[in-house]
Amino acid sequence: MNLLHGIDGLRKLSPGCVLSIGNFDGVHRGHQSLLRVARELRASTPGSRLAVVTFEPHPLTVLRPEKAPPRLTTPAMKRALLAAEGVDDLVELAPEPAVLDLTAEQFWALLRDEVRPSHLVEGSEFNFGKNRGGNIARLREWATGTGVRLNVVGEVEVPLLDLRIVPIRSTVVRWLVAHGRVRDAAICLGRPFALQGEVIRGHQRGRTIGVPTANLRVDGQLVPDDAVYAGRCTVDGKTFPAAVSIGTLPTFGDSDRQIEAHLIGFAGDLYGRVLTVELVDWLRDQRKYDGIEPLKAQIAMDVADTVRRADDDASRPIAAA
């Protein structure tokens, strides 16, 4: 995938490309639906390329930092996911005045006159331009007669584990993850939610009780509610079940929030490495135990539960069961 930056990068896109614009945080099933339509249009438009334009980071980090949402995917994760969806060219726009001050009309003129895509593929709730002044209705009006074909893709809905049907949006996925509902989040994402971070030195208490853990430092990414989760992690091409503890260490009296992953069956030094840990299922709440032995007994049960669940297809919608 070809990575481009800024307005100059936008101008470098191939005329006649199939283009989709959005934040694409999470690259969830709704985004995947857009990109599936875009791939079909690329296949029917000889010589065209599939291009995505996204903000990096989210515009609210500049406009209203206190309202900026935590990320579902790191920049590296989002790029990899978009590449896997067949995106040829990715333009990352920084939230700077040259971009944020463009009105909807000015942004449309830039697309029409300088980028010249053959198709635009967007969701029905798409907004763009300064103060979100542009929408699908205006875009449809402006595109008429220009040679740019607007393709509007309807919202995707899925049933969650409680059978409630929800629209797939990044805000919905964030809520689910924040509340520890990682299986429901996986249904919306089409894959397990994953945390990515560098392994740093922690208290190393796990080693003293025979359960060494990788302590992850996660920057800017949404961290699920405090709990113990069943997950998995791939290291050097081999996937290991991972029992993941998120929260404080109440049995030891520690109040610092940590993300600790015990890779079951792995032996080796992980310090300084960047790991991606998928969270497949919620196991239990954090709690304080009356001493080390009850804690070790619970961890043994957590490890056994993790081994049983680590290979689950957590992303399968209920309707497909």
Rounded average pLDDT over 86-93: 98
Give dist(CA 204, CA 212) in Å, integer. 7
Domains along the sequence of the chain with CATH: 2-155 (3.40.50.620), 188-319 (2.40.30.30)
What pLDDT is stored for residue 101 in this prediction?
95
pTM above 0.85, yes or no: yes
pLDDT in tens, 137-183: 999 999 999 999 999 999 999 999 999 999 999 999 999 999 999 99
**Average pLDDT for 248-262:** 82
Q: Tell me what the mean pLDDT of segment 103-110 comes to.
A: 97
Query: Does residue 286 or residue 34 have the better pLDDT?
Result: 34
- The DSSP symbol for 171 reads H
- What contacts 161, CB < 8 A, 6 or more positions away? 181, 183, 184, 187, 318
* CA gap 134, 69 in Å, rounded: 22
The SS3 of residue 60 is helix
